A and B are shown apart, each in its own frame.
Chain A
Amino acid sequence: KAGVTQTPRYLIKTRGQQVTLSCSPISGHRSVSWYQQTPGQGLQFLFEYFSETQRNKGNFPGRFSGRQFSNSRSEMNVSTLELGDSALYLCASSLVQGKYNEQFFGPGTRLTVL
């Protein structure tokens, strides 16, 4: 099976702009989670989507949003970009059968805000 894919791999934006990142989960996986990774804060959970519904949300401002489509692909959007949004954004997919399932991570999208 193909792994989790994320596009684009690199992005450069300026402050005030908005950005959309995309994640395609492993075939058959219905849960997609997003994480932000920065040198200062480490890996932080953004949100999780399952069957097109947001099930869990981390402590991020409303500028960070996401959605999931019927084919389980997910997008996250960041509006009014700030310098501090520069980070590696990782998505992870899981099968969701039972209590907890292994999350498979994508390679990440590196966002730089200038």
Chain B
Amino acid sequence: AQRVTQPEKLLSVFKGAPVELKCNYSYSGSPELFWYVQYSRQRLQLLLRHISRESIKGFTADLNKGETSFHLKKPFAQEEDSAMYYCALSTQGAQKLVFGQGTRLTINP
């Protein structure tokens, strides 16, 4: 069975500090990994996906198949990064996402 684990429910850092949101997954095949973000009073939206290998809003995430991890990183946090972040997994091209429990990130001024 596929499973996504986000070990931190809450994460608080100061503005300008580095941020790392952890995500680990379990799946025996080759998954597609995503980070979704939900800002206050907004819809859930895609932040980035591992396959595109791009940086969005300064965030990057590298898929580490050996450690089955897909941690989200940003070198310098900004106040507007405060939001709920969900790591998600999809398998075999299916339009089905398995989500982690989410991490609420708070950036303190």
* Interface, chain A (partner B; CB < 8 A): 3-4, 31, 33, 35, 42-45, 48, 50, 55-56, 58, 90, 92, 94, 96, 99-107
Known contacts A42-B102, A100-B32, A56 near B44 by CB under 8 Å? no
- The segment from B20-28, B64-72, B73-81, B88-96 that touches chain A is B88-96
Q: In the complex, are the beta carbons of A48 and B94 less than 8 A apart?
A: yes
- Most A C-beta atoms less than 10 A away, residue of B32, B43, B86, B100: B43
Q: In the complex, are the beta carbons of A43 and B99 less than 8 A apart?
A: yes
| CB-based closest 10 A-B pairs | A43-B99, A105-B44, A99-B93, A56-B96, A42-B101, A48-B95, A31-B95, A105-B43, A102-B46, A45-B96
Number of A-B contacts (CB under 8 A): 54
Nearest Cβ on chain A to B37's Cβ, whole angstroms? 11
The binding surface of chain A is classed by DSSP as: strand
Interface size class of B (residues with CB under 8 A): 10 to 19
* Interface, chain B (partner A; CB < 8 A): 32, 43-46, 49, 51, 86, 90, 93-102
The interface residues of chain A lying within 8 Å CB-to-CB of B98 are 45
